């Protein structure tokens, strides 16, 4: 956004704001709809949720209209009508309606994405499709709507008793709307008339009020009209709605003879400084209907702050609070609330406790902190040099003193840096809930589509993980969940035959385990038949006869991760392009995780995904091999010790270390890590003793010992990805810059384990075949 005018910049910012606001609202809508669904299934009603959904849609309508997102606005408009019917009890929230709501929210999400793209790229690709979809939805909504009459949406802004609104005649409704649109004040009176003279009394009331306003309607007041004394049997209490331009006090005086109970029906809109009275002089007041501002009308958007826009649109203050947009000052008009409270002022500070941050800013922060860590290392080396001297120059007394002082300061630096690092990491962390909610919605949809009622259980949704990892998680998770519902959970009839509850259970569990987050997708379905897997692998030429015979059930389960493998012949539309578990595994590996399948035939299947908590900064052990430095992630490391040659044995053609009664396969990195670079580059100084240490690593319950020349120590590094041209090289998860521009490769321990154990199995089979 360099070089644009300030106006363009402001417009761009306003647009970005719109998209994040809208997305948040859509997310909140999803959660609420899911909760409504859940409650409905339990047979409970949640009217306040319905009201929240209504208000969210109302806000969306306003926002969309303001930004010229015409499609969204139209959809919101119709949805709002439906939701109003629902919350007023005029329409029942049955499955069909709930489905429609879900579909609409999903359409929202898609339209938002396509509007965003359209703005960015100028292209119009998905707009057509989105329009069709919306038109369909609108038609469905209209069909529902024509069954009922409904009060004008504008009236929803007033705290009028819904029961009253419901019984307004068309004329009365029209009068009410008209009064509101003219900016008249709405006032409510409670009168008690003797039954015998009700007509006369009412006429008197009308006379009193004629000069001051218009009686819109009246209704027998309910018994709970607040503090009235016991009503005599021959009297009737009435609630009367009056529209007037006069102040509440004036009106009170006018009807004093007949009642003292009069108060204003609060209007839930307040533009800073504007009082909703005085209609005649039509100044520029916020319209109750929504202005149709579009991107093109520059002055409107770029001159208004988002707060102003929110007020213009008519968001109730509490909604604005929830969105984190409080207007600078909101003065409620005198007499607005019952009892005529004096003007209240809402403070400038947003009640919202969260801040939205662009992930790229976080990345830059992370990099800066990482570079700072490198600087810290240099400071430490400098301190050591001062204290201990370096070749050719022994330390003098004064340099030793300085060195000690520097070391002390360095320690403080180190502590603060660790705090800073942790703080930045924490900022990147988001709860898994955001992707779990998405999954929940899909589960609901899928289980309905397939007629497989499914009980969806989630635990640990508040487990936190790096934001970047979360983004990459949703596709693999969705795929696993689709598998579970499509292939895992059996049809009801079959489940009953098996003696299982008719409703299947799908559980999504997440928990932190050391430096990792574990996510499990578990179903109580049919399970996976290892024999079927083996048969299929053989049929596809992925296994030899011998291998098939030798394979254990546990190893067989891992077959699902082979490319091109699938246990069902047809490509169901659930699994889309027939994307297999191999893609899931690749995607999980991309974010530094591993995936494993466990299953019991007819019992169920559990897919376990293990992920690093954060990608960016990891703790490693720096090691030297043939003069070059390599990093071993501490997360996989068990211990490092001096290699005792007498403990090394040979087994099946491979070296193993005997340690405490166990045999650990050994890999001499100096042999494994061969490269042609030595033909071109000058070789670094080789250390005096080679293959001196062994670093023992573990993944799951398998261990491998890596033999190295040197061990330099532990440090935190910023992991940087290797370029695409190096993607095929096995065994490295990235590289990092050590001080003074040197680079160290970071080992991918899981991949190396695969190599070792894969090879061992190979070798074993070869030897047995002999």
Partner 1 sequence: MGHEPAPLPLDGVLEYLGFLLDGEGYAIPIEGIAEIMKPLPIAPVPRARREILGVMSVRGRLATVVSLRACLGLGPRRVDARTRILLVEAAQEDLGFLVDEVTGVFHVDASEVEPPAVLGADFGAHVRGAARPDGELVVLLDVTSLLPARAGEH
Shorter beta-carbon distance to partner 1: residue 92 or 682 = 682
Q: How far is CA 317 from the centre of its chain?
A: 25
When the beta carbons of 361 and 742 are compared against partner 1, the nearer one is: 742
Work out how close the CB of 753 gets to partner 1 at its nearest, in angstroms, rounded to a whole number. Answer: 16
CB closer to partner 1 out of 372 and 648: 372
C-beta of 159 vs 726, nearer to partner 1 = 726
Query: Which residue in 498, 682, 466, 512 sits closest to 604, CA to CA?
Result: 498
Task: Give the nearer residue to partner 1 in terms of CB position, either 49 or 690.
Answer: 690
Least distance to partner 1, CB of residue 677, Å = 4
DSSP result, 240-296: EEEEESS-HHHHHHHTTTT-SEEEE--BS---TT--S---SS--S---SSPP---TT
- The β-bridge partners of 517 are 512, 611
| Dist. CA 219–CA 214, nearest whole Å | 15
Give the max Cα distance, the chain.
118
Nearer to partner 1 by Cβ, of 226 and 728: the residue is 728
In the bound state with partner 1, the residue whose beta carbon lies nearer, of 315 and 745, is: 745
The least CB distance from residue 684 to partner 1, in Å, is: 9
**Among candidate residues 719, 755, 748, 517, the one with its CA nearest the CA of residue 632:** 748
Q: Indicate if the alpha-carbon torsion angle 68, 72, 73, 74 is positive or negative.
A: positive
Choose among 484, 474, 485: nearest CA to 434.
Answer: 474
For the CB of residue 724, give the shortest distance to partner 1 in the complex, in Å: 5
Task: Tell me the closest approach of the beta carbon of residue 727 to partner 1, in angstroms.
Answer: 7
Residue 306 C-beta: closest distance to partner 1, Å = 34
Report the DSSP pairing between strands 516-523 and 504-513: antiparallel
**Residue with the two structure tokens 């070749």:** 391
- The strand ranges marked E within 463-593 are 464-466, 504-513, 516-523
Torsion of CA 613, 618, 620, 625, to 10 degrees: 110
CB 737 to partner 1: min, Å? 4
In the Cβ-directed half-sphere of 466, how many Cα atoms lie within 13 Å? 23
For the bound state, the minimum distance from the C-beta of residue 617 to partner 1, rounded and expressed in Å, comes to: 15
User: Rounded to an integer, what distance in angstroms lies between the CA atom of residue 4 and that of residue 7?
Assistant: 8
In the bound state with partner 1, the residue whose beta carbon lies nearer, of 8 and 762, is 762
Of residues 548 and 722, the one with the C-beta less far from partner 1: 722
Where residue 477 falls (left for φ over 0; alpha for ψ -120 to 50; beta otherwise) is alpha
DSSP calls for 331-354: -PPTT-STT-PPP----SS-S---
Q: By C-beta, is 41 or 742 nearer to partner 1?
A: 742
DSSP, res 222? P
Of the pair 422, 675, the CB lying nearest partner 1 is at 675
- Shortest CB 744 distance to partner 1, Å: 6
Q: Which is nearer to partner 1, 590 or 742 (CB)?
A: 742
CA distances, 331 to each of 248, 264, 326, 328, 341 (Å): 17, 16, 12, 10, 11
Report how far apart the first and last C-alpha atoms of the chain are (Å, whole number): 68
Phi first, then psi: what are they for 146, rounded to 5°? -60, -15
In the bound complex, what is the minimum distance in angstroms from residue 761's beta carbon to partner 1?
Answer: 21
What's the min distance (Å) between Cβ of 570 and partner 1?
Answer: 29
Select 648 or 672, whichever has its Cβ closest to partner 1: 672
106 burial class (0-12, 13-18, 19+ CB within 10 angstroms)? Answer: middle
Residue (134 or 615) nearer to partner 1, CB: 615
Please say which residue, 120 or 223, places its beta carbon nearer to partner 1. 120
Least distance (Å) between residue 747 CB and partner 1? 11
Smallest distance from partner 1 to CB 759, Å: 14
CB atoms within 10 A of CB 138: 18
In angstroms, the CA 564 to CA 205 distance is 83
The CB-of-754 to partner 1 minimum distance in angstroms stands at 14
What is the nearest approach in angstroms of partner 1 to the Cβ of residue 645? 24
Cα 410 from chain centre: 39
Binding stretches for partner 1 (CB under 8 A)? 367, 371, 628-629, 672-682, 720-732, 735, 737, 740-745
Write down the least CB distance from residue 479 to partner 1, Å.
Answer: 24
Minimal distance, residue 377 CB to partner 1, in Å? 14
**Closest to 71 (Cα-Cα) out of 23, 112, 101:** 112
Q: Measured between alpha carbons, how far is 233 from 229 in angstroms, rounded to an integer?
A: 12
89 φ/ψ sector (left φ>0, alpha ψ -120 to 50, else beta): left
Q: Where are the beta strands (DSSP E) in 377-468?
A: 429-431, 454-459, 464-466
Q: Where are the alpha helices (DSSP H) in 6-94?
A: 6-41, 47-66, 70-87
Reading the block at residue 664, the tokens are 């650990």
- Spatial separation of the C-alpha atoms in residues 488 and 447, rounded to whole Å: 12
Tell me whether residue 141 or residue 745 sits nearer to partner 1 (CB atom): 745
Token duo for residue 633 = 């992630």
Please, which residue, 391 or 682, has the CB nearer to partner 1?
A: 682
Of residues 323, 373, 265, the one with CA closest to residue 617: 373
How many helices (H) and strands (E) are present in the chain, helices listed first? 23, 22
CB of residue 121 to partner 1, shortest distance in Å: 17
**Which residues fall within 8 angstroms of residue 41, CB to CB, at 6 or more apart?**
none
Cβ closest to partner 1, residue 374 vs residue 433:
374
């Amino acid at each position: 956004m360099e070089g644009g005018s300030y106006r363009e910049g402001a417009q761009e910012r306003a647009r970005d704001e719109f998209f994040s606001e809208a997305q948040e609202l859509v997310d909140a809508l999803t959660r609420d709809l899911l909760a409504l669904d859940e409650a409905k299934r339990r047979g409970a009603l949640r009217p306040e949720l319905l009201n929240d959904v209504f208000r969210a849609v109302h806000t969306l309508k306003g926002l969309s209209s303001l930004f010229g997102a015409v499609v969204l606005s139209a959809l919101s408009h119709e949805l709002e009508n439906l939701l109003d019917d629902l919350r007023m009890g005029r329409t029942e929230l049955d499955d069909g309606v709930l489905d429609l709501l879900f579909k609409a929210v999903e359409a929202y999400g898609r339209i938002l994405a396509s509007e965003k793209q359209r703005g960015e790229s100028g292209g119009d690709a998905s707009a057509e499709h989105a329009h069709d979809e919306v038109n369909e939805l609108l038609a469905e909504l209209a069909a529902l709507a024509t069954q009922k009459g409904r009060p004008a949406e504008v009236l929803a802004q007033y705290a009028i008793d819904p029961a009253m609104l419901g019984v307004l005649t068309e004329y009365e409704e029209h009068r009410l709307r008209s009064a509101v649109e003219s900016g008249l004040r709405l006032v409510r009176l409670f009168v008690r008339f003797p039954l015998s003279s009700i007509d006369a009394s009412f006429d008197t009331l009308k006379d009193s009020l004629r000069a001051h306003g218009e009686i819109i309607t009246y209704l027998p007041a309910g018994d709970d009209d607040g503090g009235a004394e016991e009503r005599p049997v021959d009297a009737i209490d009435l609630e009367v709605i009056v529209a007037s331009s006069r102040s509440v006090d004036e009106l009170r005086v006018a009807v004093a003879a007949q009642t003292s109970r009069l108060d204003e029906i609060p209007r839930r809109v307040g533009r800073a400084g504007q009082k909703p009275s005085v209609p005649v002089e039509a100044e520029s007041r916020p319209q109750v209907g929504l202005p149709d501002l579009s991107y093109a009308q520059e002055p409107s958007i770029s001159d208004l702050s988002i707060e102003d826009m929110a007020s213009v649109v008519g968001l109730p203050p509490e909604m604005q609070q929830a969105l984190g947009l409080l207007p600078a000052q909101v003065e409620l008009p005198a007499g607005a609330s019952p009892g005529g409270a004096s003007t209240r002022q809402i403070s400038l500070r947003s009640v919202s406790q969260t801040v939205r941050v662009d992930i790229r800013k976080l990345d830059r922060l992370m990099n800066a902190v990482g570079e700072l860590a490198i600087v810290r290392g240099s400071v430490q080396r400098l301190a050591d040099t001062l204290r201990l001297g370096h070749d050719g120059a022994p330390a003098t007394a004064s340099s030793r003193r300085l060195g000690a002082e520097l070391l002390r300061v360095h320690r403080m630096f180190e502590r603060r840096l660790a705090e800073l690092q942790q703080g930045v990491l924490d900022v990147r962390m988001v709860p898994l809930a955001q992707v779990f909610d998405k999954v929940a919605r899909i589960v609901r949809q899928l289980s309905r589509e397939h007629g497989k009622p499914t009980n969806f259980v989630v635990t640990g949704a508040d487990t936190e993980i790096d934001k970047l990892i979360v983004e990459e998680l949703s596709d693999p998770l969705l795929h696993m969940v689709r598998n579970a519902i499509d292939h895992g959970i059996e049809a009801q009839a079959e489940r009953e035959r098996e003696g299982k509850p008719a409703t299947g259970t799908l559980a999504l569990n997440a928990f932190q385990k050391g430096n990792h987050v574990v996510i499990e997708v578990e179903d109580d379905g049919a399970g996976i038949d290892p024999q079927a897997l083996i048969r299929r692998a053989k049929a596809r030429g992925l296994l030899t006869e011998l291998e098939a015979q030798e394979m254990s059930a546990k190893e067989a389960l891992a077959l699902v991760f082979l490319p091109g493998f699938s246990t069902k012949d047809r490509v169901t539309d659930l699994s889309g392009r027939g994307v297999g578990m191999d893609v899931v595994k690749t995607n999980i590996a991309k974010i530094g995780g591993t995936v494993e399948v466990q299953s019991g035939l007819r019992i169920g299947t559990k897919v376990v995904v293990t992920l690093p908590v954060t990608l960016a900064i990891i703790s490693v052990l720096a090691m030297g091999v043939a003069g070059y430095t390599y990093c071993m992630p501490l997360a996989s490391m068990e211990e490092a010790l001096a290699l005792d040659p007498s403990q090394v044995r040979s087994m099946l053609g491979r070296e193993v270390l005997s340690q405490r009664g166990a045999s650990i396969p050994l890999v001499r990195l100096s042999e494994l890590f061969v490269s042609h670079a030595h033909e071109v580059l000058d070789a670094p100084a080789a250390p005096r003793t080679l293959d001196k240490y062994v670093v023992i690593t573990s993944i799951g319950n398998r261990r491998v010992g890596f033999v190295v020349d040197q061990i330099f120590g532990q440090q935190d590094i910023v992991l940087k990805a290797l370029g695409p041209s190096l993607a095929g090289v096995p065994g490295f998860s990235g590289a990092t810059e050590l001080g003074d521009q040197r680079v160290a490769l970071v080992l991918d321990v899981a991949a190396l384990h695969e190599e070792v154990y894969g090879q061992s199995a190979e070798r074993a089979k070869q030897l047995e075949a002999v």
